[in-house]
Amino acid sequence: MGLDDALLALTLLAIEPGLKGVLIAGAPGTGKSTLARAARALWPAGTPFVEAPLGVTMDRLIGGIDVERTLEAGRPVAAPGLLAAAHGGVLYVDEINLLAPELANVLCHTLASGQVRLEREGISQTSPAEFVLIGTFNPAEGPVAPALLDRAAFITPVTTLRDVPTRAFIAANAIGRPRGSPLPMPPDVINMVEVGREVLPQVRMPANALKELCAAATALQALSNRAEVFAVRCAKANAALNARAPITQSDIDLAVRLVLSPRATHRMEIVKAGADQSPSETPSPREQSEGRSADAPKKRERGEGSQSRDQADVKPMAESGEPAPLGLLREPIKAEGGTAGGKRGQGLNTRRGRHIRSLPGRPGQGQLALVDTLKAAALNRRATIGEKGRVIVRREDVRIKQFRQRTGLLVVFAVDASGSMALNRINMAKAAAISLLQSAYVHRDKIALISFRRDRAEIILSPGGGVAKARRALEGLPTGGRTPLSAALVEVMNMAGEKACHLQVAGTVLVLITDARTNQPLRPAPQGGDRRAVAREEVERLAKQLGPRLAGAVMIDTRRIFVAGGSGQELAGWLGARYFYLPTVSAAQITTTVQGEVAKIR
């Protein structure tokens, strides 16, 4: 695949700003940053292309006080930030996954509202900030904030380019071009984008095509309703890219692949009579401009990857008719990598960590915030110019830096309340869970409690709830029914992602109490199929996906009879968890063991 999907996504974004953004994921050296900077050529000359540096501060992002002009004027004078500077153009953020949570939140809000509001240090100012976002990141260094993933239409992975001609082209240009200058974008791709902008207003979305995209979003279990909106815009932009007004099936397929699939909790396949083209065969814009060889051994169907302007070869979607049938594949989406949240918590101090704000203080109390001290002097009108142009600052103007360090963990207890547990060790499991909850609360960790039975998992204690509430919930916990272990893992995965990011914890620790006899899958088993086998396959795939996202995990097997290498030990292996067999140890021993596991993470 190389850079093909990323380049195609960038061309569609340049045609339709409503797609909001492209996030390009890849290992170091795969060309993602080079491609992102080269994309500047896809927008008309003079369009703002603003790059946010690594380690950007809140003042630099949203704006702040212009110290020099403020000192000269004797009153607060605002300096615009990068968000306002990107208005009408592009904001490029390299290593976007390393943005501080507060910066990511501001970026998300600005993308949604189209304006940035500055309310600080005596200034109240609103500036327009309508821009599109290009972000690059290495998944191995940590995940992107879920809110950012939701607000950009495209999340595209890139891999090392394998073909010799492309490698030779990049090497030749890398050697010949001046340091810092972007890689040239092929002129034919730029021309296609310019034509696409003119064609886009003429493109219309047929009703049945809209229904098909919504059906695909439902089948893929996309978590946000922005998914289908972005998919519609993507299909229309792709039609415009190929200089045609009618929407074709190829546009729908591309939107499903580029927009909906990365947001899916399950994969799907689209079954169409006579369709034999794999979505992965979609050519890039570069291939579109070069056309296809007439004597190719396998002639691909012309569609999203074709630059052909011959409307006779294009079959527009009919205004009536049923959407193509949809079906789920066997496996959930695999994680792109990533690591646990980190091994330190976040506490406020004046010594080390991430600089988040400046506070009034005195020299020697902490690190001096020089710029904020000068701002305070100017705002308080206490700054005077002494000999040789020196600024005189009084003691009450001094500001020191406040830092944030990570503190605390999110500890998620997932308790099996199915019928098999009720017959075995449910009471002992409850006692162990309460003991662990008390221990975690003492260490000021965030606590969450999930129970699962019948066909669903339920959050009975949200993160941060007290021990008394958890005790009541556990003591009154209903039992019985099947074991929907897949549903429990999905809930834990959601907590380890968005919830953990929102709570700003160091990482997520899972304590799973179950007999691992999963027999209730998320999706119905095929006719004549084995429901238990389907459920086991789901659990295996979800557990292997969840494991890398956890800072630690403990699996407590409550099965009545111990079986070496049984389902409990299998599950622990998939999760990368420490395994314990409950009937052979006491609740106090389990508490001590879990405390030891958590201590390794702090």
b/e per residue, 91-117, with b = 16+ CB within 10 A? bbbbbbbbbbbebbbbbbbbbeeeebe
Catalytic residue among 37, 40, 151, 226: 226
Maximum C-alpha span of the chain: 91
Token code pair at residue 320: 């009536």
- Output the 3-class SS for 301-355: CCCCCCCCCCHHHCCCCCCCCCCCCEEECCCCCCCCCCCCCCCCCEEEECCCCEE
| HSE-up (13 A, CA, CB side) for residue 173 | 17
Give yes or no for a contact between 418 and 392, defined as CB atoms under 8 angstroms apart.
no
Helix residue ranges, H only, 134-284: 146-151, 164-176, 187-199, 207-219, 226-241, 249-255
Q: What residues form DSSP beta bridges with 578?
A: 554
Token code pair at residue 452: 């699962």
Contacts of 427 (CB under 8 A, 6+ apart): none
Residue 392 DSSP label: E
DSSP H/E element including 432: helix 426-442
Instruction: Indicate if 482 belongs to the active site.
Output: no
b/e per residue, 321-349, with b = 16+ CB within 10 A? eebbebebeeebbeeebbebbeeebbeee
Among residues 507, 550, 501, 505, the alpha carbon closest in space to that of 103 is found at: 501
Q: What residues form DSSP beta bridges with 392?
A: 384
Token code pair at residue 42: 């896809």
Beta strands 63-65 and 49-52 are unpaired
Give yes or no for a contact between 378 and 65, defined as CB atoms under 8 angstroms apart.
yes
Give yes or no for a contact between 100 and 354, defined as CB atoms under 8 angstroms apart.
yes
Q: What residues form DSSP beta bridges with 71?
A: none
CA distance readout (Å), 182 to 15, 22, 36, 221, 551: 20, 18, 9, 39, 39
Task: Please give the full DSSP string across 525-559, using - where no structure is assigned.
Answer: PPTT--HHHHHHHHHHHHHHHHGGG-SEEEEEE--
Give yes or no for a contact between 394 and 362, defined as CB atoms under 8 angstroms apart.
no
Active site residues: 226
